[in-house]
Structure formats: C-alpha cells, structure tokens
C-alpha cells in the first residue's frame, strides 16, 4: 500500500512539474500597442462586484491565475509585495482566478495571504476576452485604460520587468 501511495505521489509530482516547466518554456513578454483594455465586471472574494473601469486613473495589473498552477503559486507572494510597495502611488492588482470551482482558490488564499482584490471568472468569459492561453497571464494597463504590457506565463525574474513597467506607468 505504501508503494502504491509513493507511486501515485511521484506520478502527481512528475505531471505537475512537467506542466510547470511547459509554462516556463512558453513564457513570453511583450509590449502592447496601447489598445483599450476590455472592461469587465466580476464578483470579488469580498462578495462585491468589481469593475475594471472603476480603476481608471490608476495603473492596473490584471493577473489571471489558478490554484493548480505552480508558477502562479510562485508569483503570488511577489505580487503581494509589489501591491504593498506601489499601491499608495496609484497602482492596483486585480487577481482573476480562472477556475469554475472557487473553493480551491479560496483554500489556497487561506495559506497565501494577499490584500489585493481577488476576482472570480468562473465562466471564463473574461479570460476568453483577454485571450488567456497560459497560466499565469498578466496584463498591465495604464492610467488611461490602455493595455501596455503582456506577460504570458511566469519565469523567475519577471518581477524585475513588472517593477520597471509599473514605475514607468506610474510616472506617466
């Protein structure tokens, strides 16, 4: 019985690691053309509906994530530090969980505390609108509601680019 449990645990680990590595291998960053960010309204963890356009005038990072995503789990504490550092300067993060079942996201968030708004895209409507094809996917939007940067996937070191881009947009 112990051998079966070890085999199952090893299999789950290998599959998880393989998925995480595929996200790393497919990670990409690019500067966008500044087209308007599609507006959306989603229910938040607090139960309130939040609308992207309500954050006009701030630099907004929309981070699409899932609890099963290894790179998302690695990135979440880094995002929290950035939110705390730049939040008073007109910066906000909207963490958009893409899972149909919000209980898994909520269980993860009990362990990893974040103070930025978490939204639930249980129907994947917003994820499809933003053409999310990798986990995590991050879109950084300027104060005028224009999409300026896209990060598909996550690799260690992206946080340096995030910080540069956020600082640049805060100064504009």
- Give CA–CA dist 162/126, Å, rounded: 22
* CATH at 56: 3.40.30.10
pLDDT at 27: 60
**Structural domains counted in the chain:** 1
The parent domain of residue 66 ranges over: 2-171
Q: What is the mean pLDDT of residues 112-126?
A: 96
As given in the structure block, the two tokens for residue 65 are 């994530």
Helix/strand/coil for 153: coil
Q: What is the mean pLDDT of residues 10-31?
A: 44
Q: What is the pLDDT of residues 66-85, one digit of tens each?
A: 999 999 999 999 999 999 99
- Give the residue, 31 or 125, on which the prediction is more confident: 125
Q: What is the mean pLDDT of residues 164-170?
A: 96
Using CA atoms, how far residue 123 sits from 10, 96, 126, 172, in Å, is 32, 12, 8, 35
State the pairing for strand pair 28-31/49-51. unpaired
As given in the structure block, the two tokens for residue 4 are 């079966």
State the pairing for strand pair 41-44/49-51. antiparallel
81 Cβ contact partners less than 8 Å away, ≥ 6 residues apart: none
Mean residue pLDDT across the chain: 86
pTM for the whole structure: 0.83
């Amino acid at each position: 019985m112990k051998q079966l449990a070890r085999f199952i645990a090893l299999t789950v680990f290998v599959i998880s690691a393989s998925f995480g590595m595929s996200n790393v291998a497919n990670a990409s960053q690019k500067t966008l053309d500044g087209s308007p960010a599609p507006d959306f309204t989603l229910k938040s963890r607090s139960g309130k509906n939040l609308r992207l356009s309500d954050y006009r005038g701030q630099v907004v990072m929309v981070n699409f994530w899932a609890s099963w995503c290894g790179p998302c789990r690695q990135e979440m504490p880094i995002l929290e530090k950035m939110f705390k550092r730049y939040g008073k300067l007109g910066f906000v993060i909207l963490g958009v969980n893409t899972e149909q079942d919000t209980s898994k996201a909520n269980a993860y968030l009990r362990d990893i505390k974040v103070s930025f708004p978490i939204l639930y895209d249980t129907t994947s409507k917003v994820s499809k609108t933003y053409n999310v094809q990798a986990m995590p996917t991050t879109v950084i939007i300027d104060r005028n509601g224009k999409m300026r940067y896209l990060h598909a996937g996550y690799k260690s070191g992206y946080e340096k680019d995030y910080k540069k881009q956020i600082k640049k947009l805060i100064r504009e």
